[in-house]
A = this chain, B = another copy of it.
Amino acid sequence: MAVRTPDPDPEPEDPDLGAFGGVPSAPSANPGWLSEFELEEARRRLPMLYVEAIPVRTDGSGQVTEVGILLRSTPLGEMTRTIVSGRVRFGETIRDALFRHVENDLGPMAFPLLPPQPLPFTVAEYFPIPGVSAYHDDRQHAVSLAYVVPVTGTCEPRQDALEVTWFSPEEAASDAVAAEMEGGRGTLVRVALAHLGLLR
C-alpha cells in the first residue's frame, strides 16, 4: 500500500509568505511558488519538515480522556487511520503550521488548545524505506515534530478525512488500532500515551 504523509495538491500558498525573506515571487506568475514538480524534486533530495498533532479530549483537571484518530479514505478506496499531519512551509513558524494543519484536518470549530511550549513530545523520523525507524513514508524522508493538542469544540474533518473517531486511551494503544494506522503512526500514538502517563 502506498503510505503517504498528506500534503494535498494543489497547496495554495499564502501571498504574504511568497514575498518572505527576499524570495522572488513573480506575483503575476506565481500561483504556487513551489510547483508540484519542484516539490516532488525536493522530496527526493531533502528531509521535509512536518508537524503532527494527536487530538485529545480532556476532563476538567486536564487529564486526557479520549484520543482522536482520523479515518481516511485513500484514492484506491482503502480505509486507513491517521492523525493530523502536514508540512511546514518556508517562512512559517512551527506554531502557525501546527495551527493551520489542525484547522485544515479538524475544521474551524475544533477550538484547539495548542501547547504553550515549542517542544514536541517526540520527533518522528519517516524514511522511504521501512525498517530504518518505526515510521515510514514511501514518498519522502520526513522529520515530524509531534504534539498532543486538546480540542474543545466540534471536529468536522475536511474532504478526504471521513471522521474523527474518539478512542479511550486503552483502545488507542491497542494492536487493533495500530494495525489500521498508516506509516507506523500506531507507535506515535503509544509514545504520546506514554508521555501523557496513560500507557500501561
Bin the interface of chain A by size: 35 or more
A116 & B22 in contact (Cβ 8 Å cutoff): no
Other-chain contact of A196, B23, B34, B116, B129 (Cβ < 8 Å): B116
Q: Which residues of B contact A119 (CB under 8 A)?
A: 119-123, 195
Distance in Å: Cβ of A33 to nearest Cβ of chain B:
7
The segment out of A3-11, A42-50, A72-80, A160-168 that lies at the interface is: A42-50
Asked if A40 lies at the interface with its beta carbon under 8 angstroms from chain B, I say no
Name the residue in A22, A116, A145, A191 with the highest tally of chain B Cβ atoms < 10 Å from its Cβ. A116
Distance in Å: Cβ of A18 to nearest Cβ of chain B:
11
A62 & B115 in contact (Cβ 8 Å cutoff): yes
- Of residues 4 through 56 on chain A, the ones whose CB sits less than 8 Å from some CB of chain B are 20-24, 33-34, 38, 42, 44-49, 56
Asked if A183 lies at the interface with its beta carbon under 8 angstroms from chain B, I say no
B47 & A195 in contact (Cβ 8 Å cutoff): no
Distance in Å: Cβ of A38 to nearest Cβ of chain B:
7
Closest 3 CB pairs of A and B: A62-B114, A194-B194, A21-B128
